[in-house]
Structure 1
Amino acid sequence: ITSDDYEAERRRMAGKMCSEKGKEEYKKRKETVEWPFGNIKHNMKFREFHTRGLENVQIEHNLVCTAHNLRVMWGKLGSSVAALSDIKGLVANFAFRVSSI
């Protein structure tokens, strides 16, 4: 049996996950972490990157995440005109910052 430099951390984390508090925290994972990936892959049908190179893939990933976040915001805000006006301002500000990079 061999181990690497991270074996101690793995054992410590396994011990944490076996505790009652760890189990409760892990249950929250599906609500906070997993569903955006499922939404992006299934509902947005994004399963592979269409660009090459680390920088281009990072840009593409950021665009997909932005699209996901906008859809979530749209769903939460519904048809509230004031809220849509706020989103328009946020998107315009974001687009300005991205274009100046």
Structure 2
Amino acid sequence: LRTPDKTKVRQVAFFRGKRDGVESHTERMKRRIDSDQGKQMIGARFASVEPVFGNLRHNKRLDRFTLRGRTKVDGQWKLYCMVHNIEKLGHHGYAN
């Protein structure tokens, strides 16, 4: 330890590696997603709501609300949704 007189607790970690013959949760989920039913499920998720949240969080930088109170947050959320919908109309030729 760098400062043993200031550190109250010491911890030891043992790294054992992967267990033989036991499928991890990650591997099991990969197998489920790669199946035909999993591909349909993922395709339905991407075709519905998730791109909207991705657009609002990444492109519009809506990581957190800047206002406080339920009514103000609701107004801010509706404003972001309205901007998203107007952009969608503009990109799909409605403006022409």
Q: TM-score, normalised by structure 1?
A: 0.52
Give the one of 29, 52, 59 matched to 1:36. Answer: 52
CA contact (8 A) 2:65 2:76 kept: yes
C-alpha separation in 1, matches of 2:79 and 2:95? 24
Three-state SS of the structure 2 residue aligned to 1:71 is helix
C-alpha separation in 1, matches of 2:43 and 2:74? 29
C-alpha separation in 2, matches of 1:54 and 1:41? 20
Aligned: 1:62 with 2:62: no
C-alpha separation in 2, matches of 1:76 and 1:22? 30
The 5 Å alignment of 1:14-93 reads: 24-77=40-93, 80=96
* AA in 1 matched with 2:48: T
Shift of 1:78: 6.3
After the TM superposition, list the runs of 4 or more consecutive aligned residues in structure 1 that deviate by more than 3 angstroms.
20-23
Q: Indicate the structure (1 or 2) with the bigger Cα radius of gyration.
A: 2
- Percent of aligned pairs with the same amino acid: 30
- Structure 2 residue runs of 5 or longer lacking an equivalent are 1-35
Shift of 1:24: 2.4
* AA in 2 matched with 1:55: T
Higher normalized helix content (fraction of residues): 1
- Structure 1 residue runs of 5 or longer lacking an equivalent are 1-19, 81-101
Q: What is the match of residue 9 of structure 1? A: none
